[in-house]
Amino acid sequence: MTPYKELSREQLQAMKADLEKQFEEVKAKGLNLDMSRGKPSKKQLELAMDMLEELKSTDKLKCETGIDCRNYGLLDGIPEARRLLGAMTEVSADQIVIFGNSSLNVMFDTVSRSMTHGVCGSTPWCKLDKVKFLCPSPGYDRHFKITEYFGIEMVTVPMTPAGPDMDMIEELVSSDPAIKGVWCVPKYSNPQGITYSEETVKRFARLKPAAEDFRIFWDNAYCIHHLYEEQDFLLEILEECEKAGNPDLAYKFISTSKVSFPGSGIAAVASSPRNLADFRKHMAIQTIGHDKINQLRHVRFFKDIEGMHEHMRKHAEILRPKFEAVENTLEKEIGGAGIGTWTTPKGGYFISFDSMEGCAKDIVAKAAEAGVKMTEAGATFPYGIDPYDSNIRIAPSFPTPEELQLATEIFVLSVKLVSIDKLLAE
Amino acid sequence: MTPYKELSREQLQAMKADLEKQFEEVKAKGLNLDMSRGKPSKKQLELAMDMLEELKSTDKLKCETGIDCRNYGLLDGIPEARRLLGAMTEVSADQIVIFGNSSLNVMFDTVSRSMTHGVCGSTPWCKLDKVKFLCPSPGYDRHFKITEYFGIEMVTVPMTPAGPDMDMIEELVSSDPAIKGVWCVPKYSNPQGITYSEETVKRFARLKPAAEDFRIFWDNAYCIHHLYEEQDFLLEILEECEKAGNPDLAYKFISTSKVSFPGSGIAAVASSPRNLADFRKHMAIQTIGHDKINQLRHVRFFKDIEGMHEHMRKHAEILRPKFEAVENTLEKEIGGAGIGTWTTPKGGYFISFDSMEGCAKDIVAKAAEAGVKMTEAGATFPYGIDPYDSNIRIAPSFPTPEELQLATEIFVLSVKLVSIDKLLAE
């Protein structure tokens, strides 16, 4: 394909006229398609339906230590759930505590706790003049919303194919005691699908923070969410931190939201004994305990980590063709056109698209005009401001394959039209 | 029965010798009985077991507005759950928001939110020099733990048979802008089982706080938890606040922890539109949504408020004889002895016992010696300090009837022994 930049104004104008015609046709259909959020599809939700019938009314519902899961108690979660989710994130059962239905909620509460009570006895962040977080970007909008909500200053760190720019992170973390945390989605990152390299993980583990209450918020959201048999490999961060003499450096968050049911899964935190004691101290005041019946339901259904991997292969069967459909359409329609690049991840929930500079907002608006909802442009950056206005997160999971094909075509039309306008205006 | 105070030293010493013998006998049994927490018994938990099988793997699991309960979304909870829990606490579905599994967690988060973000736009409490809460006492230890955890100064307010001392509350709330809240369990209060009178509720609703961000934390934990057909009546606080021109004055918290399953129920907050908007603003950052499948499970099982009342009558059948067994033993063994008074509530989970001054800690320790665990003495007061060292919370729900009988007898023995020692020491 000839790069658009090499086309004459006349050629571009002719293309534009043709594309506009196509766009009006598709717009007339009055579609309502959603590629905005990482929501599992109906077909994926069906995979875990048997879980709802796991617990029988005649069951005893005792966990393996004999405690009745139906009653109060057992703040850390039932042992078998700690073992299962521990295996999911490669730690032992005593390194993990089970929480409620949402890891985002646990991350929020962790920041909130640090604001009011500090970290392992440090000064509460709300008493400090300035608190900063590093935000590798593009990243997860809901992470950035949390730090923004608490008035924490966000510092954008560029992403590379091996993870965040570690030179910058090392420099900032070691020199600025106001920097208290960094948001990471280390495996199949949101939105790029990048997995941090071994070197990146090791450099994270070896950080020498100026602030004793600096922590890595390691959101291992997609730890077992592979699309292919050939998987990315992520080094286990807690062990690396331990080896590096930094045992308390990282919090590792996971959940089964995209394994069992979004909103009805279970979340967990893995960390050092000292950090977990800090979590427990707070939790012992905050609640009498989380939903142990749901923990038991999960363990009965998945049985063990092998059962979970088996289940994730079924998710991959549904998701993989969707990712490939988007990637193929992009390649076919704009491959080599020089108006956009995109990632081809081996797992996770997103494809990250980068348009020419200054086009993302217009592309998202254009697609919306024809009934396709994308994640808001800019959302993948702190404060919702993409300095280049080029990144767009594509979430292929929720639509049916037919809807997805149509939505991608509309997206591509929008990219082409906005890019041509941009080139014509230059 | 002759009051112990009127007995001679010789009589008391003779009684003591006999009681000590009895105590040693029972101690030798090596019992392990628990009257410390308001935990439902195994038999009560059995009542809701069919709920676990309500949802079938072939069900569609859509709520009445057609949204799939298995997926993300619907922050406020499903409409049918809002209607059911609204009916439970006498408000309409649009006045209530459904949360996770624990109302305590929601109260904690509400205090936490006020610390970091203020109340409806007020100055965050963490930025103020002093924040105070009024604590009608004896009260619920877990309430007091929350305010203590956040460094909020707690002011004890005495309880009367009609509720907290309203003269004191009116005086303090109207004069001291540092007072930001009051903890209330208005129906079948924890631990006394007192229901606030109509006059008390009206006086709460008419408060004229010096602080605009003062709120009543109305923990309606036992709203439908009656022991008898003849029930206490509690005036609906939100309507009274509205009538009094104070629409934003109160937060009303409820949960189904002692209706369905502790830890696996659903919690909710009812309040004014302005207050609910404040909750939602926070929640929209904190989570993507609560467990809607569990909400649906509850609605399918109870169907409507009538189904819930019917279910609570089954709880009452199990609980009532336990309360009466404790009350009868107390009456038979120490009625008229002048060494203790106790409440005879018509609902809730507790009997409140008041010993002679300065005896509660020793009684609880004595009972523990013989294997009976009571709530820690002092726990029902702020900072765990009962100024008279006399209040003990009795939780009759968890033990079997046989265990309860034995535990009560040991408790009574402990009361007698400690009281005699006290009288002999005078």
Q: Mind telling me how many Å the CA of B150 is from chain A's nearest CA?
A: 7
Segment (H or E) for B179: strand B179-184
Residue range B208-223: average pLDDT?
A: 98
- On the CB side of A114, CA atoms within 13 Å amount to 26
User: Could you report the per-residue pLDDT of B243-266, keeping only the tens digit for each?
Assistant: 999 999 999 999 999 999 999 999
Distance to chain A for B6, nearest Cα, Å: 45
Determine, for residues A49 and B57 on separate chains, whether the beta-carbon distance falls below 8 Å.
yes
Between chain A and chain B, the number of residue pairs with CB atoms below 8 A apart is: 159
Which residue in A has a C-alpha nearest to residue B398's C-alpha?
A71
ipTM of the complex model: 0.96
Cβ–Cβ contact A168 with B under 8 A: no
Fold of A4-44+309-425: Aspartate Aminotransferase, domain 1 (3.90.1150)
What residue ranges do the domains of chain B occupy? 4-44+309-425, 61-303
Q: Outline where B55-197 has alpha helix (H).
A: 79-88, 103-117, 141-149, 166-175
Main-chain phi, psi angles of A62, to 5 degrees: -95, 145
Q: Each residue of B261-294: pLDDT tens digit?
A: 999 999 999 999 999 999 999 999 999 999 999 9
Strands B33-35 and B163-164: unpaired
Contact (CB<8Å) A292/B150: no
Question: Residue A415 and residue A392: Cα distance in Å, rounded?
Answer: 11
**Dist CA B356 CA B343 (whole Å):** 15
Residues B289 and B73: beta-carbon distance below 8 Å: yes
Residues of B in contact with A114 (CB under 8 A): none
Interchain CB contact of A383 with B (< 8 Å): no
Residue B426 has pLDDT above 90, yes or no: no
Backbone angles phi, psi at B3, to 5 degrees: -60, 135
Does A291 sit within 8 Å of B101, measured CB to CB? yes
Residue A188 distance to chain B (closest CA, Å): 20
Residues 6+ apart with CB under 8 A from A369: A27
Which residues, in sequence order, are bridge partners of residue A183?
Answer: A217
CB of B252 closer than 8 Å to CB of B370? no
B112 neighbourhood in chain A, CB within 8 Å = 112, 116
**Chain B residues 14-43 with a CB less than 8 Å from chain A:** 37, 39-40, 42
Pair type for strands A267-270 and A96-98: antiparallel
Say yes or no to pLDDT of B192 above 90.
yes
Burial of B365 (0-12, 13-18, 19+ CB in 10 A): middle
B342-400: pLDDT as tens digits: 999 999 999 999 999 999 999 999 999 999 999 999 999 999 999 999 999 999 999 99
pLDDT of residue B1: 86
Q: Which residue of B has its CA nearest to A296?
A: B264
**pLDDT confidence bin for B59, thresholds 50/70/90:** confident
Residues on chain A touching B108 (C-beta within 8 angstroms): 285-287
* Helical ranges in A28-102 per DSSP H: 42-46, 79-88
Query: What is the distance between the alpha carbons of residues B192 and B161, in angstroms, rounded to a whole number?
Result: 9
* Cross-chain CB nearest to A72 (options B58, B262, B287): B262
| CB count in 10 Å sphere of residue A282 | 19
- Cross-chain Cβ contact A37/B70 below 8 Å: no
Instruction: For chain A, report the end-to-end CA distance as a whole number of angstroms.
Output: 21
Q: Which residues of B touch A100 (CB under 8 A)?
A: 100-101, 291
CA distance linking residue B40 with residue B312, whole number of Å: 12
Which pLDDT tens digits describe chain A residue by residue (426 residues)?
899 999 999 999 999 999 999 999 999 999 999 999 999 999 999 999 999 999 998 888 999 999 999 999 899 999 999 999 999 999 999 999 999 999 999 999 999 999 999 999 999 999 999 999 999 999 999 999 999 999 999 999 999 999 999 999 999 999 999 999 999 999 999 999 999 999 999 999 999 999 999 999 999 999 999 999 999 999 999 999 999 999 999 999 999 999 999 999 999 999 999 999 999 999 999 999 999 999 999 999 999 999 999 999 999 999 999 999 999 999 999 999 999 999 999 999 999 999 999 999 999 999 999 999 999 999 999 999 999 999 999 999 999 999 999 999 999 999 999 999 999 998
Query: Of A142, A149, A264, which is closest to B293 when you measure between CB atoms?
Result: A264
With an 8 Å Cβ cutoff, are A52 and B57 in contact? yes
Q: Do B126 and A145 touch (CB under 8 A)?
A: no
Residue A58: its chain B contacts at CB < 8 A?
A: 49
Looking at beta carbons, which residues of chain A come within 8 Å of B289?
102, 263
Name the pLDDT band for B85 (thresholds 50, 70, 90).
very high
A195 touches chain B (CB under 8 A): no
Of A58, A264, A287, nearest to B70 by CB-CB distance is A264
SS3 A286: helix
Rounded-to-integer distance, Cα A114 and Cα A180, Å = 10
Name which of A60, A71, A190, A297 to mutate to probe chain B: the one with the most chain B Cβ atoms within 10 A of its Cβ.
A71
Instruction: Show which of residues 43-72 on chain B sit within 8 Å of chain A, judged by CB atoms.
Output: 45, 49-50, 52-53, 55-59, 68-72
What is the per-residue pLDDT for A398? Answer: 96
- Cβ–Cβ gap B71/A40 under 8 Å: yes
Within 8 A of A146 by CB-CB distance, chain B residues are: 285
Non-local (6+) Cβ contacts of A400 within 8 A are A41
**Mean pLDDT for the stretch of residues B400-421:** 97
B57, B285, B291 member nearest A101 (Cβ): B291
CATH architecture of A61-303: 3-Layer(aba) Sandwich (3.40)
Beta bridge partners of B136: B157
Q: What is the pLDDT of residue A45?
A: 97
Flag whether residue A384 sits within 8 Å of chain B, measured between CB atoms.
no
Residue whose tokens read 């950056």: A381
The CA distance from B270 to the nearest CA of chain A, in Å, is 19
Chain-wide mean pLDDT for chain B?
97
Q: Which of residues 199-218 of A touch B (CB under 8 A)?
A: none
Displacement of CA B70 from its chain's centroid (Å): 32
Note whether A123 contacts B: Cβ–Cβ < 8 A: no
DSSP string, B223-279: TT-BSSSS------HHHHHHHTT-TTSEEEEEESTTTS-TTSS-EEEE--HHHHHHH
Alpha-carbon distance A209 to B375, whole Å?
44
pLDDT score, position B8: 97
Quickly count: other Cβ atoms within 10 Å of residue B116's Cβ: 21
- Which pLDDT score is estimated for B325? 97
Residues shown for chain A: 426
Q: What is the DSSP track for B309-359?
A: HHHHHHHHHHHHHHHHHHHHHHHHHHTTSSSEEE---SBSS-EEEEESTT-
